[in-house]
Amino acid sequence: MTKTSFYPPQRTLMGPGPSDISPQVLQALSRPTIGHLDPLFIGMMDELKQLLQYAFQTQNPFTIAVSAPGSAGMEACFVNLVEPGDKVIVCRNGVFGDRMRENVERCGGIAVMVDNAWGEPVDPELVEQALEAHPDAVIVAFVHAETSTGALSDAEVIARLAREHGCLTIVDAVTSLGGVPLLVDEWQLDAVYSGSQKCLSCVPGLSPLTFSERAVTKIQSRKTPVQSWFLDQSLVLGYWSGEGKRSYHHTAPVNSLYALHEALVILYNEGLENAWQRHRDMHNELREGLEQLGIAFVVEQPYRLPQLNAVYIPDGVDDAAVRKLLLERYNLEIGAGLGALAGKAWRIGLMGYAARSENIALCLRALESVLK
């Protein structure tokens, strides 16, 4: 008996990611594979690096895409920057802050937790208190845009506090990159990772990453080897570096990198400021409609992410049944709640290519019809 191909349906992706992908990006994805050491591919990677620097608003020479999803980008930051015994202040206001703690501990570091409630931003005062209570801390780690709650924290202020206390920063920008302002150089962030499948609207599987000179210096002065060979960025740099011959480290995910290049070309040509504005505009359009349906937001207005709208599930509504109906009747995916918000909230994404009026119209109409 023969096996058959898999034909996915055409969904509208308005969850926490993967987001809707432009047909242009899917086309780029399926272009002919060439070798990962082919001079034309190396040329494409140089351009990709510049495009990533634009998206991150940085001049950091160390700006690459990790050949694995955002979780591996997170781990790349921790395994390269944290040595056994290092004290790291970890801000936790959702799932991903807790994953940072896991990373610190698995590197043999000591995690000092700064907790805020789910749905709240990180409170810079609490960060300052922790820095004062732990003068031996060397890193502050926080999530810029919490994908599990839709809350935006003030990366600029937290990074300034960290610097004033001699700490480097590790910043989760998985959901923020391309959706809200993220100014790596101006805010002097040190190690910042993201994901391909959120506001860049590329396929999942890659993690854009940038390290400041300060971060690179810390890596170069390590006393112990990086515990991961695959994520050891001093080795990876031999492949991504523009100087001289590229050395083989691992086989790059060639086609996914075509897609990321294309997604970043789209972002560049739209312009970052325009993309941020579009996300704000679309958020307002969605917000008005949701409010008319009597649906309330989890996050207070000033800290709300336009690209990720966490909203309370109305009383008496069957969470799973509604999401199933949306998927089956309208081919529309919205996200379930995660962690503390599981069963209590939905997460409606307006990320990248998904931040369009037609998606919002579909979402509002479908929700209205299903909630009746």
- Which residues in the 245-284 window bind a second copy by CB under 8 A? 248-256, 258, 261-262, 264-265, 268-269
Q: Which of 53, 197, 212, 359 binds a second copy (CB under 8 A)?
A: 197
- Which residues in the 209-238 window bind a second copy by CB under 8 A? 225-230
- Which residues in the 45-84 window bind a second copy by CB under 8 A? 47, 51, 67-72, 74-75, 79
d(CA 139, CA 155): 14
Q: Which stretch binds a second copy (CB under 8 A): 1-9, 159-167, 291-299, 362-370?
A: 1-9
Does the annotation place 160 within a ligand binding site? no
CB 288 to a second copy: min, Å? 26
CA atoms within 13 A on the CB side of 71: 6
Q: Which stretch binds a second copy (CB under 8 A): 125-133, 136-144, 184-192, 203-211?
A: 203-211
CA angle 276, 76, 185 (to 5 degrees): 40
Question: Going by DSSP bridges, is the β-strand pair 308-312/345-349 parallel, antiparallel, or unpaired?
Answer: antiparallel
| Closer of 220 and 301 to a second copy (Cβ) | 220
- Which residues in the 10-49 window bind a second copy by CB under 8 A? 10-11, 13, 15, 17-18, 20-21, 24, 26-41, 44, 47
**Nearby residues of 239 by Cβ (< 8 Å), 6 or more positions away:** 246, 247, 248, 249, 250, 252
- Which residues in the 313-332 window bind a second copy by CB under 8 A? 327
d(CA 223, CA 242): 27
Query: Judged by CB under 8 A, does residue 188 bind a second copy?
Result: no
User: What's the order of all strands across the beta sheet hosting 308-312?
Assistant: 12-14, 332-336, 345-349, 308-312
| Closer of 29 and 311 to a second copy (Cβ) | 29
d(CA 142, CA 130): 13
Q: Cβ(300)–Cβ(93) under 8 Å?
A: no
Query: Judged by CB under 8 A, does residue 129 bind a second copy?
Result: no
Query: Judged by CB under 8 A, does residue 301 bind a second copy?
Result: no
**Nearby residues of 6 by Cβ (< 8 Å), 6 or more positions away:** none
**Residues in contact with a second copy, shown as a per-residue x/- string from 82 to 101 under the rule CB under 8 A:** -----------------x--
